[in-house]
Structure 1
Amino acid sequence: MAKDPLLVRAGQTMVPTPRALALRDEAAAVVRRLDALLSPGGDTDLSTLRTTFTLQAADLVGAALAPGLLRRAGQEAPGISFRILAEELEAGPALRDGRIDLEVGSIDHVDPETQVEELVTLRMMAAVRPGHPLAGEPLTLVRLAAAEHVVVSRRGRFTGPLDTALAERNLHRRVTAVLPSHLAAMALAAGGDVVCLVPAALPGSPESPLTRTATALGLRLLDISLPLPPLTIGMAWHPRQAADGAHRWLRDAVRRTLHAPEAT
């Protein structure tokens, strides 16, 4: 049986058949649905969205992010939940295959297709408890080197950029503990006489959310008169999620949280 034609010739032109006219509204609805599916995602209804985002971040970054993300989700997208993983996965493959949605931290190795945005640049400061011998007098490099230090390293390394800078001045510090966690190192410094390094805002900038834990623990932050390399915190994601409306909200929420001078 021949299929009903959609167009027939009428003189020098083609005109729609009744069948074509009947399908017109249905076809228009299909086109609208396809357009919504393929659009950049700007029309995502965050109020009805139900999803969980998985982020990978160091413990200090996760502690800085979690309050702001939860607060913004509660106000703007109450159906969103967050899973924050430790830095245990190779970010490139994990982003590519969807095991994580976003990496936040010091992005020092990425696959060519990975998209990266730098968020904030910080400096390293010495953190000590209020009664520490270094807290009462100006911090000199000799006194800094003579103090006991705790180092944060997931690989168990005892040295870092501070040791390199001190060595150039014939100074060497004593590292008495190496811990894999920034939060554990700050807790150790808050309860004893060791020095730990804490990332803080550049001079003249608002307080970084990354220093709020140190402030909450009562630690005092001391300037180090050495040209230590700055720490840049960024976020990385796979390009397949670049235009997704929900993921765009996530990236914006991370951006606003790390730029926020104080909790609101």
Structure 2
Amino acid sequence: MQLDLNLLAALDALLEEGSVAGAADRLHVTAPAMSRSLGRIRRTTGDQILVRTGRTMTPTPYALAVREQVHDLLQQVRGVLAPSRALDLSTLERTFTLRWHDALVALSGPALLDAVRAQAPGARLRFIAESSIDTSELRRGEVDLAADADRPAAREIRAERVAETRHVVIVRQGHSLTTGETVTAAMYAAAEHLTVSRRGRLTNLLDDALARLDLTRRVVATVPTERAAFEFVRGSDLVVTAPESTARSAVSDLGLVLLPLPLDVPPAAVHLSWHQRYDTDPAHAWLRDLARNALAGAMARPVSTAGSAAKDRTEPSA
């Protein structure tokens, strides 16, 4: 049997998009051409691949079973037919898509962009927001590099822990927790809290730590970003807990105070993640190095506070 490798690309697009029109747009061909490709795939495999269910197309059990294999085979074919060449940064013309936590974009994005522009003027960075649901852009190749607190579970996703920082408590100046007394776990639990969660979660590891001490806290609201949380805190008696490195700017910009967290919790980690298809891509490896340095450097910067009193309160307890 003579095989047409173009059918492999068509099958991958059909399985990823779940529709003829979507696959046609992805491969920049007409819908009739993609329909013909689907017909050839059906004749070759002896399977319908996609069947109509109402107004949508549903993959068959066979299609679901081979989807990952088809995607990996296509990447291998592309790697063979388009092998990597020596990287010339001066002529590199490429747009990298980065899905980073919003606080990490603000904290490390400018340094990364400066490094990229200095070495590869033709390269561009495209930062996109995190989703409120789990997505698979890394697997589909729509995102080149992700950076956030979570370590991906999928085997084909590489992940590297590049930095970490302790959690701190953020309150407005004059808050009752800033009276000079050492903040205890009981005092912390008694305050009204705000959580930061792009998924809208009201509980997290802090509640587990409090439960181990037979304490509970009252969370009155949750917001999707730390910057939004800081705006809530600056005009109220609410308390928010966040990674120290990403909270630094709030101290100087908004006049907030950082306090040590009186709980034993693991530090907030930053993981850099990418799909294994990019392991040997020289341009991607170059970007990973710059991103690693930008993230680690930003997380390691010394604390900058609004005043010496606030600075003293951020020092670890003896």
TM-score by length of 2: 0.62
1:213 aligns with: 249
Distance in 2 (CA, whole Å) between partners of 1:151 and 1:229 is: 17
Equivalent position to 1:48, from 88, 91, 100: 91
Distance in 2 (CA, whole Å) between partners of 1:126 and 1:220 is: 8
Matching of residues 45-124 of structure 1 within 5 Å: 45-88=88-131, 90-91=134-135, 93-124=136-167
The 1:57/1:241 distance shift into structure 2, 3 A limit, reads same
Distance in 2 (CA, whole Å) between partners of 1:215 and 1:246 is: 37
CA deviations 1:190-248 (Å, max 9, x no partner) are 33321111112xxxxxxx4x344333433322112211132221111112212222211
RMSD value, Cα: 2.4
Q: Does 1:224 align with 2:261?
A: yes
Deviates more, 1:179-188 or 1:129-138: 129-138
Distance in 1 (CA, whole Å) between partners of 2:153 and 2:290 is: 22
Measure how far apart 1:254 and its partner are: 1.1
Measure how far apart 1:130 and its partner are: 2.2
Q: Does 1:161 align with 2:205?
A: yes
- The DSSP-based 3-state class of the residue aligned with 1:215 is helix
- The DSSP-based 3-state class of the residue aligned with 1:172 is coil
More helix by share: 2
Equivalent AA in structure 1 for residue 167 of structure 2: M
Matching of residues 1-264 of structure 1 within 5 Å: 38-39=83-84, 43-88=86-131, 90-91=134-135, 93-137=136-180, 138-200=182-244, 208=245, 210-217=246-253, 218-260=255-297, 261-262=300-301
1:34 aligns with: none
* Identical aligned residues as a percent: 40
The 1:79/1:57 distance shift into structure 2, 3 A limit, reads same
- The DSSP-based 3-state class of the residue aligned with 1:258 is helix
Distance in 2 (CA, whole Å) between partners of 1:243 and 1:108 is: 21
- The DSSP-based 3-state class of the residue aligned with 1:47 is helix
Unaligned runs of at least 5 residues, structure 1 = 1-36, 201-207
1:23 aligns with: none
Distance in 2 (CA, whole Å) between partners of 1:249 and 1:168 is: 44
Measure how far apart 1:262 and its partner are: 4.2
Preserved contact between residue 107 and residue 236 of structure 1 (Cα < 8 Å): no
CA deviations 1:63-112 (Å, max 9, x no partner) are 22221112212322222222222222645x31122110011112333321
Distance in 1 (CA, whole Å) between partners of 2:202 and 2:134 is: 23
Distance in 2 (CA, whole Å) between partners of 1:191 and 1:82 is: 35
Distance in 1 (CA, whole Å) between partners of 2:95 and 2:134 is: 20
Distance in 2 (CA, whole Å) between partners of 1:45 and 1:211 is: 38
Deviates more, 1:234-243 or 1:44-53: 44-53
- The DSSP-based 3-state class of the residue aligned with 2:287 is helix
Equivalent AA in structure 1 for residue 221 of structure 2: A
1:29 aligns with: none
Which structure: larger Rg? 1
TM-score by length of 1: 0.74
Unaligned runs of at least 5 residues, structure 2 = 1-81, 303-318
The 1:176/1:107 distance shift into structure 2, 3 A limit, reads closer
Distance in 2 (CA, whole Å) between partners of 1:59 and 1:142 is: 31
The 1:78/1:150 distance shift into structure 2, 3 A limit, reads same
